[in-house]
Structure 1
Amino acid sequence: MFDWIDTYDDRTWQTTEEGTVSYALIGLGWWTIDVALPAINASDLGEVTVLVSSSAEKAERIAEEHGVARGIGYDEFHEGAASDQYDAVYIGTPNAFHLEYTETAAELDKAVLCEKPMERTVERAETLVETCEAADVPLMIAYRMHTDPAIQRARELIADGFLGEPVSVYGHNSQPLLEMIPDPNQWRLDPDRTGYGTSVMDLGIYSINTARFLLRREPVTVHSNMVSNHEAFADVPDECASSVFRFEDGVQMVSTSSQNAHNDTHLKITGTEGQIDLRPAFHGECSLHLSRGDVSVTVEHESFDAEAEMREEFDYFADRLLGGGEIYPDGRHGIRDMRIIEAVHESAERGEPVSIEE
């Protein structure tokens, strides 16, 4: 175990150190500008050459401020403007618009890195994936935790038997959304733009997807409960949500999430012989707390924040494009999450456990 700690920062997925992927960033919200853009600028294999916004004037202004070659509007993007200046698109718009930008990217033969969750409904997510498959363009869903060094090392430990047999998982993700963005009309509270709801779609998915990644097991049933009390959450069912999942091989998982609570993230996996506790898990500097027998070890990364996680994500995507390697998580992986989220909401509405479709 202690030999493993020395390799904490290794990029076990990397296959090439040469080449550059040029990106068009679609949707210029705070995450794209404050996190994704600097992450690509700090990456080894990527560069930003085009910014795309609902306002061409805004895109041009931000492009000039950040030294990006071109800024264009959405209509120009759909018309193919500047398409010779980028290789791939990063889609950071609200969920309900992912499909239309993916369709245009596919028509332009551009690879797609699409933010999670990949769309607002299962049906639209399926269309999105089928569009990329028909055009033979690479598609990756932006689960940044997959390339976080702490998550990568946790996966290696689990594969090597550190836990023994996995028994249970507890995941939590919450944030005070209205303090972060003091606007009750924001898109995460609009079901037409966010999809099934707000807390599970935006936050709970971190626990669920990271558990899938770490365990390489799929949830097969779920029993959920949701509540929305604050007036700003009147149009979405899950101001707060909790779910109990049964995964393959009988592994049990409890997942809780809220968009109206203290900022906290946590993922704990317990096995027959050991425990891996990630906290904070999804926001902030992800740290590993390992326990097995009489030994407990805490492993911290000095400065691995969301921007650094995104840098790794973009370099992983570029590595796969440049080297032709298989992408994980691909579109089919993302559809599975959409079906899980749909089942979570169905269970809460029906008040009983439901099976999760394959």
Structure 2
Amino acid sequence: MIRYAVVGAGWISQTAFIPAVSLLENSVITAIVSGRPERARQLADEHGIEHVYSYEDFDELLSSDLVDAVYIAVPNPLHAIYAIQAAKAGKHVLVEKPIATSLSDADAMISTAKAAGVSLMTSYRLHHDVGTITALQAIREGKIGRPLFMSATFSFQSEMGNHRLDTEHWGGPLQDIGIYCINAARHVFEADPIAVSAMSTRRKDDPRFGSVDDSIAVTLKFPDDRLAQFYCSFGAYPIDTYQVVGTDGVLTMDPGFRFEHAMTMTLKSSDESEYVHFPHYDHFAGQVSYFSDCIELGVEPQPCGEEGLADLEILFAIERAAASGLPQKLSPKKSLPRPSAITLRTIKRAVA
């Protein structure tokens, strides 16, 4: 049984992570770390979690024998601080994406975890989801021929005051939801992009977007003349879908990224048509179950810290492209493991 501390008791921890761990037999939450201990105490009592710590007392928790691993869901610029601190204390680390807000911080997180002999995993829950794995496997099996083009649209109306709209937290649609599109494209084409271009918008008449873009459109060029395009927005009608066009067919996932609803896949080719409505498994429970298995078995988890670093480099290139209006080239990267049946875990969601 792997014992977790939740570091950051915001929406994602309350809505997704904490309820998910309650479904598991190999994982348990033993502590919550928060900047609002009174509110965290209430949350802990609701879920039968014994210990609550403030951020100032994080060292005290790490020096105890209360936890084996930490789940880091604090604002983006703080990921590295708490991940490095936990790794140095010998605790395994599951960190929300983007992994960090600088390449140097991400490198430091990776090297610290390796030096300490602990696991560092970036929280890409879709790597453990049956819909995503099935779609990638269908593409790898050639069911749409050779994949040539991927398009994705991911948007919703963000509420005024949401942390996603705070530039101090490295907020914005690219960092928060565009990263899903980037990661999906890398695994659809089993490669990293070699060039990016982008254009963004910032509505002057909308007070939500005083410091961050409301929308961004991105083109990624992959080796062998393959392209991906995505649009993401904090100020548009909610949509969550991607489509992969191949030489012999097309595959559509709708929804494709969010965890609140079950995914569906439509596959059309010259030989067959297929529609799959996947069971609504808990993405976070699958992810934590897998990570705990890796810890217990002493196996390096995937997606690792390097996976988070790969997407981070692309995010920065896109930012440069949008700011300059010029395409940005990217250097080839070492190949990383791809999501597969090995990373898949199917945990039934709790009935509300």
Same fold (TM over 0.5): yes
Distance 1:114 1:326 in 2: 15
- Residue 239 (structure 1) aligned with residue 214 (structure 2): yes
Distance 2:228 2:246 in 1: 12
- Aligned to 1:314, the other structure's residue is in SS state helix
Distance 1:336 1:98 in 2: 16
| Shift of residue 133, structure 1, vs aligned partner | 2.1
**Equivalent residue, structure 2, for 1:53:** 34
| Shift of residue 345, structure 1, vs aligned partner | 0.7
| Shift of residue 294, structure 1, vs aligned partner | 4.6
Indicate if the aligned counterparts of 2:62 and 2:89 stay in contact, CA closer than 8 A: no
- Aligned to 1:329, the other structure's residue is in SS state coil
Q: Deviations over 1:208-243 (max 9, x none)?
A: 10221233111110110001112321212x210001
- With structure 2 as the length reference, what TM-score do the two structures score? 0.89
| Shift of residue 89, structure 1, vs aligned partner | 0.4
**Equivalent residue, structure 2, for 1:17:** none
- Aligned to 2:43, the other structure's residue is in SS state helix
Indicate if the aligned counterparts of 2:126 and 2:257 stay in contact, CA closer than 8 A: yes
Alignment match of 2:198 (pick from 221, 224, 228): 224
**Equivalent residue, structure 2, for 1:187:** 163
Indicate if the aligned counterparts of 1:50 and 1:86 stay in contact, CA closer than 8 A: yes
- Residue 213 (structure 1) aligned with residue 192 (structure 2): no
- Of the structure 1 ranges 252-261 and 123-132, higher mean CA displacement relative to structure 2 is found in 123-132
Matches within 5 A, 1:249-260: 249-260=224-235
**Runs of 4+ more than 4 Å apart:** none
Q: Deviations over 1:234-260 (max 9, x none)?
A: 212x21000111012221001110011
Q: Deviations over 1:22-59 (max 9, x none)?
A: 11001001210111001111123211111110133332
**Equivalent residue, structure 2, for 1:323:** 297
**Equivalent residue, structure 2, for 1:72:** 53
Distance 2:231 2:59 in 1: 39
Alignment: residue pair count = 328
| Shift of residue 87, structure 1, vs aligned partner | 0.9
**Equivalent residue, structure 2, for 1:148:** 129
| Shift of residue 198, structure 1, vs aligned partner | 0.7
Distance 1:134 1:325 in 2: 16
**Equivalent residue, structure 2, for 1:132:** 113
- Aligned to 2:224, the other structure's residue is in SS state helix
Q: Deviations over 1:142-187 (max 9, x none)?
A: 0111111011111222222222211000011111111xxx42xx43
- Aligned to 1:245, the other structure's residue is in SS state strand
- Aligned to 1:261, the other structure's residue is in SS state strand
Distance 2:188 2:198 in 1: 22
**Equivalent residue, structure 2, for 1:298:** 275
Matches within 5 A, 1:282-293: 282-283=257-258, 284-293=261-270
**Equivalent residue, structure 2, for 1:356:** 330
Indicate if the aligned counterparts of 2:220 and 2:227 stay in contact, CA closer than 8 A: yes
Q: Deviations over 1:260-287 (max 9, x none)?
A: 1111111111111222110111122211
Indicate if the aligned counterparts of 1:122 and 1:342 stay in contact, CA closer than 8 A: no
- Of the structure 1 ranges 128-137 and 100-109, higher mean CA displacement relative to structure 2 is found in 128-137
**Equivalent residue, structure 1, for 2:347:** none
1:193 is aligned with what amino acid? H
| Structure 1 residues not aligned, in runs of 5+ | 1-19
- Aligned to 2:257, the other structure's residue is in SS state coil
Distance 1:214 1:313 in 2: 20
- Aligned to 1:291, the other structure's residue is in SS state strand
Distance 1:30 1:350 in 2: 34
| Shift of residue 347, structure 1, vs aligned partner | 0.3
| Shift of residue 82, structure 1, vs aligned partner | 6.9
- Residue 281 (structure 1) aligned with residue 256 (structure 2): yes
- With structure 1 as the length reference, what TM-score do the two structures score? 0.88
Indicate if the aligned counterparts of 2:253 and 2:265 stay in contact, CA closer than 8 A: yes
- Residue 345 (structure 1) aligned with residue 345 (structure 2): no
2:316 is aligned with what amino acid? E
RMSD: 1.5
Indicate if the aligned counterparts of 2:80 and 2:105 stay in contact, CA closer than 8 A: yes
Bigger share in helix? 1
Instruction: Give aligned-pair identity as a percent.
Output: 30
| Structure 2 residues not aligned, in runs of 5+ | 334-352
| Shift of residue 116, structure 1, vs aligned partner | 0.6
Distance 2:234 2:102 in 1: 20
Indicate if the aligned counterparts of 2:88 and 2:113 stay in contact, CA closer than 8 A: no
Alignment match of 1:332 (pick from 297, 306, 314): 306
The change in CA–CA distance for 1:158 and 1:127 in structure 2 (over 3 A counts) is same
